[in-house]
Structure 1
Amino acid sequence: MRAFVFPGQGAQAIGMGKALAEAYPAAAAVFAEVDEALGESLSGLIWDGDAETLQLTRNAQPALMATSLAALRALESEGIGVTAAAYVAGHSLGEYSALCAAGAIGLSDAARLLRLRGEAMQAAVPVGEGAMAALLGLDLDAAIAVAEEAQAQGGVCQAANDNDPAQVVVSGTRKAVERAVTIAKGRGAKRALLLPVSAPFHSTLMQPAADAMAQALAGVEIRDPQVPLVANVVAGPVQDGAAIRDLLVRQVTGSVRWRESVAWLAEAGVTETWEIGAGKALSGMIRRTAPGIAVRNIGTPDEARAAAASLNA
């Protein structure tokens, strides 16, 4: 049994998806539609721009979604559709990619929603006032204890991303997060470091962004996905469009329960995941969480062809 998984912010890189667009007309059409939806050449930035501009949240979010959907269209061109997967899942913004792949949200709508999501997240907290940090070598319970101790001394600090058994990201006000880094090192963390992000994602500080997304999502059609989504907020399957709308709002301030989502997939009988789009970060998290699940990456024409060959062998 197979699941398709879709990466989140941090996987972006200049040039991503260009080879897919050159090899597959259906992949090129994805970038063209996203450009039209946003009223600008996002594809030009992705392929020939500068990394600093691409890294901006307002650009990275729709860019990563476009690259993931281009990779999926390449697979479809090779005869493999989303129903080759029993489940879809995405890490944070990757959930929009997963839902678009599964037919729940239209591509143009997904692009506009992610542009708004990126802008609203950035606007929720002034630059420099929020921060995120990765705590490596601590499990979720230990990371929560660190965050609670840091927050008790003032500010906000919460577990934001439970990525795998030894990687938890905390998010909140800068001083509280910096405090958490110091506390984590004293609690046996192998490493604890601030991340190069511009806002404290997946914390209560993102409530203004959640409010903005609630308003935006209310005006967008969300259909039942063709295959169930294993959602970040509940770490379990959902296949109802109305429920998904609510979960996408809750996701902005809620934790990304990726480790639990992967564990759920393993328990459900998934034996293989295909990471669709840029980077390989999710595959590493999956290996560390559920070593019995085989991983495959689909981000280039050769990888799309190899995946098709693996099913037709």
Structure 2
Amino acid sequence: MTKLAFVFPGQGSQTIGMEADLVETSLGKEKFEKAEEILGWSVLETCRQDEANLSRTLYTQPCLYVVESILIDLLLDKAGYLPQYVAGHSLGEYSALYAARVFSFEAGLRLVQQRAKLMDTAAGGKMVALMKIDRAQLDSALDKNNDVVLANDNSPQQVVISGTPEAVDSILSEVKAKRAVPLNVSGAFHSPLMASVAQDYKQLLDEVSFGEAIVPVLSNVNPTPTIDATELKTRLMEQMTGTVRWRETLLKLAEEDVSQLIEVGPGNVLTGLCKRTCPEMELQNISRAAECQL
């Protein structure tokens, strides 16, 4: 039996026009209207306007969640089934939890809205993506510096570090990398510097009821598949300050005999990472309503 996993991209995958043909479907129209009621602004208009505004955390995160949620519902409607596993990269974990029916679309969007507001106000940190690095050298440098951490472990040769600007710059001066790309974010996401933001978020998260997942979810901070509601909520809370262990997530899916991986959402970042980590997997991207016929 072929095992299938759906994975959902996070911040950085957004693009103008990503709403595309989704609004032409009844499911999409309904979700866009519901989202506007909750958010107080239009996801459709935001996805059609300037890229700078869409790329602001405050708007990026709700827009991605809404677009990915619509694709999930279209896949369920047209294909009639979910995969054996789901996982999402950073913000994408919310889409994965919605796909697994851990919470409703509305509950998930409210969480994402508050997460985006809190993260948009974060300040005083820096994040840099490093490509083609000496991993042993990086790990050694990080071990010696308490003010910078591995925020995203994306693949053996692609990571993101996060911390105070001084500490991040210190690592950059010590570690060889083919490319070092500063990320356009307001704070040091997925690091201990987000602890105060995480505490504010916890109060909101505690108010939301989580149900048992209908398919196992692999979380960013712990890629062990689980359907347990309490565990999934705990992991989501830890994600605010913890490392996105995406490389391990892909390796775990391979260990679970997943042979087909579908990236649901805009772009192809996650399938690109999978090519380098699990090249034997069959890969597919779904970002349009027309592509939801499996």
* Structure 2 length-normalised TM: 0.95
How do 1:203-222 and structure 2 match up within 5 A? 203-222=191-210
Q: Which moved more, 1:71-80 or 1:114-123?
A: 71-80
Which runs of at least 4 in structure 1 moved beyond 4 Å after TM superposition?
none
Query: Partner amino acid for 2:164?
Result: T
CA positional deviation for 1:134: 1.2
Whole-Å separation in 2 of the counterparts to 1:297 and 1:51 = 22
Q: Which moved more, 1:37-46 or 1:59-68?
A: 37-46
State the number of aligned residues: 292
Whole-Å separation in 2 of the counterparts to 1:42 and 1:302 = 20
| Aligned position for 1:167 | 158
Say yes or no: does 1:274 pair with 2:262. Answer: yes
The answer to whether the 8 Å contact 1:17/1:71 transfers is: no
The answer to whether the 8 Å contact 1:147/1:170 transfers is: no
CA positional deviation for 1:141: 4.3
CA positional deviation for 1:140: 5.0
| Aligned position for 1:132 | 127
Query: Partner amino acid for 2:139?
Result: I
Say yes or no: does 1:289 pair with 2:277. Answer: yes
Query: Partner amino acid for 2:78?
Result: E
The answer to whether the 8 Å contact 1:143/1:159 transfers is: no
Query: Partner amino acid for 2:229?
Result: G
| Aligned position for 2:180 | 192
Whole-Å separation in 2 of the counterparts to 1:67 and 1:139 = 36
What 5-or-longer segments of structure 1 have no aligned partner? Answer: 309-313
Whole-Å separation in 1 of the counterparts to 2:106 and 2:35 = 6
| Aligned position for 1:45 | 46
The answer to whether the 8 Å contact 2:79/2:292 transfers is: no
Q: Equivalent residue of 1:247, what SS? A: helix
The answer to whether the 8 Å contact 1:272/1:294 transfers is: yes
Map Cα deviations across residues 1-26 of structure 1 (whole Å, 9 max, x no partner): 0001000100011111231222x211
How do 1:11-30 and structure 2 match up within 5 A? 11-22=13-24, 24-30=25-31
CA positional deviation for 1:59: 1.0
Whole-Å separation in 2 of the counterparts to 1:145 and 1:242 = 35
Map Cα deviations across residues 20-77 of structure 1 (whole Å, 9 max, x no partner): 222x21122222222112122122111x221111111121111111111111222233
Whole-Å separation in 1 of the counterparts to 2:141 and 2:178 = 14
Q: Which moved more, 1:205-214 or 1:159-168?
A: 205-214
Whole-Å separation in 1 of the counterparts to 2:232 and 2:125 = 28
Whole-Å separation in 1 of the counterparts to 2:139 and 2:107 = 35
Map Cα deviations across residues 272-303 of structure 1 (whole Å, 9 max, x no partner): 11111111100101111111111111101332
Query: Partner amino acid for 1:42?
Result: V
If each structure's helix is expressed as a fraction of its own residues, which one has the higher value? 1
The answer to whether the 8 Å contact 1:31/1:43 transfers is: yes
The answer to whether the 8 Å contact 1:28/1:70 transfers is: no
CA positional deviation for 1:166: 0.5
Q: Equivalent residue of 1:170, what SS? A: strand
The answer to whether the 8 Å contact 1:275/1:282 transfers is: yes
How do 1:38-77 and structure 2 match up within 5 A? 38-46=39-47, 48-77=48-77
| Aligned position for 1:311 | none
Give percent identity, aligned residues only.
38
CA positional deviation for 1:199: 1.5
| Aligned position for 2:87 | 89
Relative to structure 1, is the Cα distance of residues 36 and 139 closer, same or farther in structure 2, using a 3 angstrom cutoff? farther
What 5-or-longer segments of structure 2 have no aligned partner? Answer: none
Q: Equivalent residue of 2:175, what SS? A: helix
Match of residue 174, structure 2, among 183, 201, 220 = 183
Q: Equivalent residue of 2:163, what SS? A: strand
Taking only aligned residues, the RMSD between alpha carbons, in angstroms, comes to 1.5
Q: Which moved more, 1:161-170 or 1:135-144?
A: 135-144
